[in-house]
Amino acid sequence: MAEVTTSAASAATALATGHVAALPTETVYGLGANIEYPEAIARVFDIKERPSDHPLIVHVAPGADLHHWVSQIPATAATLVEAFWPGPLTLVLTKNDRVPVSVTGGQNTVALRSPNNPQFLAVLDQLSELTGTPAAIAAPSANLFGQVSPTTAEHVQQGLGSRLTSADVILDGGPCTIGIESTIVLCREQDVVLLRPGGVTKDELANIVTIALSEDKPASQATDQPRVSGTLESHYSPTAQVMVVESANEATHLLTGQAIDSSSIGIIALVSDEIELGTATELARPNDLNAYAAQLYAALRKADDLGLNTVVAVLPPNTGVGVAIRDRLQRAAN
Ligand code: TXA
Ligand code: MG
């Protein structure tokens, strides 16, 4: 059992000595290892039961010199770092020899992000002081592979606590403010390829860089496709069956129909969706897209805590962060 703490120093010490630390970010909690420790990286894969060819995101300080980990910095990457770091945007770049292939799933690219969370940033600062080199923390979401990402320290403790040792640490930073994972882009000189929708929206990106149409991908990439585990068809799944519908009417139809017992159903929908609930349980009734993202994963977990059979989620509009919410719900439903 790991210690749950609010001390960034404890987390930095654990990482500096080759242990793992679950860390809060603005998106979801990550299960972190210092990339200098191959055994710690291996433990992260073990603890999560993650296949070893699924690469990890490496978290660095917002002002760090990326040349430390990357062989070349395309113009798009410099622009995006300037605009969005620290923040929920992950950049895939060509790695150099300091980044072990165990972190990148054998690929020659590395995914880098600077999380916008004061405790995580304090851990990065303190870790680089302790080790005397720029800190780089590999951290996938702190959940078992394929399950719902954690947005509180308690979720991490429930899901992974028994797999952590007393030298590992869970840093409690309260609930994640954004609540769904970062946007991932592959950076090229002239444009970027959107690999996973997330906390930074397509419009926000398109304001400052060119986004390649997916058909635009060069032939080289068709064979050397970056692997993005968050894009597996089934992912982010609770035990309860997730059903997605496009409208409040469809949800009402399901709940009031004869086909299912509505008392075993939980509902996730914007508060503006007028639904006849019957005996169904409200899991989350967010009042806008940001609240929807922030509440989504806790709501899916709550369905399991309550022993519900089914979650009916009314998909939000396909705009802004709604794109990422729909992506996660559709994968949870798969
Ligand atoms: O918001 C987030 O991104 C959170 C927090 C903890 O930072 N992390 C996260 O990690 O979602 P994870 O492991 O659940 O998802 C990382 C994603 C995977 O889909 C992985 O395939 C992709 O990043 N990824 C990592 N390295 C990559 C690379 N070199 N090329 C393409 N995709 C990569
Ligand atoms: Mg994940």
Return d(Cα 303, Cα 219) in angstroms, integer.
44
Total Cβ atoms within 10 A of residue 75: 12
Structure confidence by residue, pLDDT tens digits, 32-81 = 999 999 999 999 999 999 999 999 999 999 999 999 999 999 999 999 99
Q: What share of the chain is helix, strand, coil (3-state, %, to 5)?
A: 35, 20, 45
Q: How far apart are CA 61 and CA 172, in angstroms?
A: 19
110 lines ligand 1 (CB under 6 A): yes
Residue with tokens 């149409």: 213
Q: Under 8 Å CB-to-CB from 188, ≥6 apart: which residues?
A: 74, 76, 212
Q: How confident is the model at residue 219 (pLDDT cuts 50, 70, 90)?
A: very low
Give 257's pLDDT tier (boundaries 50, 70, 90). Answer: confident
Average pLDDT score over residue span 142-151: 95
10 CA from centroid of ligand 1 (Å): 25
Measured in angstroms, how far is the CA atom of residue 131 from the centroid of ligand 2?
28
For the residues 117-144, what does the mean pLDDT come to? 98
Above 50 in pLDDT, residue 223?
no
104 lines ligand 1 (CB under 6 A): yes
How far does the centroid of ligand 1 lie from the alpha carbon of residue 230, in Å?
7
Which ligand is located closest to the Cα atom of residue 27? 1
Q: Which atom of ligand 1 is nearest to the CA of 181?
A: 1
Q: Give nearest CA residue, ligand 1 atom 22.
A: 228
The C-alpha atoms of residue 324 and residue 134 are separated, in whole angstroms, by 31
Of 21, 298, 271, 330, the closest CA to residue 179 belongs to 298
pTM of the entire predicted model: 0.95
Condensed to tens digits (0 to 9), the pLDDT of residues 69-91 reads 999 999 999 999 999 999 999 99
- Which token pair is 117? 């969370």
Residue 232: which pLDDT band, with cuts at 50, 70 and 90? Answer: low
Instruction: List, for residues 286-332, the tens digit of each pLDDT value.
Output: 999 999 999 999 999 999 999 999 999 999 999 999 999 999 999 99
Which-ligand-closest: CA of 183? Answer: 1
- DSSP element (H, E) containing 78: helix 75-84
Ligand number nearest to the C-alpha of 146: 2
Does residue 229's CB lie within 6 angstroms of at least one atom of ligand 1?
yes
- Output the residue whose Cα is nearest ligand 1's atom 10: 140
Cβ of 141 below 6 Å from ligand 1: yes
Name the β-bridge partners of 110. Answer: 93
Distance 35 CA to ligand 1 centre (A): 15
- Ligand 1 within 6 A of 55 CB? yes
For residue 187, pLDDT beyond 60: yes
**Which position has the token pair 């998106």?**
27
Asked whether 183 and 113 are in contact (CB, 8 A), the reply is: no
User: For residue 334, what pLDDT is reported?
Assistant: 85
Our answer on whether the CB atom of 54 is closer than 6 Å to any ligand 1 atom is yes
- Where residue 135 falls among pLDDT bands split at 50, 70, 90? very high
The response to whether residue 300 sits with its C-beta less than 6 Å from ligand 1 reads no
Sequential DSSP letters for 186-243: EE-SS-EEEEE--SS-HHHHHTTSPBPPGGG--HHHHHSPPP-GGGSSS-S--SSEEE
143/158 Cα distance (integer angstroms): 9
- DSSP, res 1: -
Cβ–Cβ < 8 Å for 156, 150:
yes
Taking residues 116-143, report their average pLDDT: 98
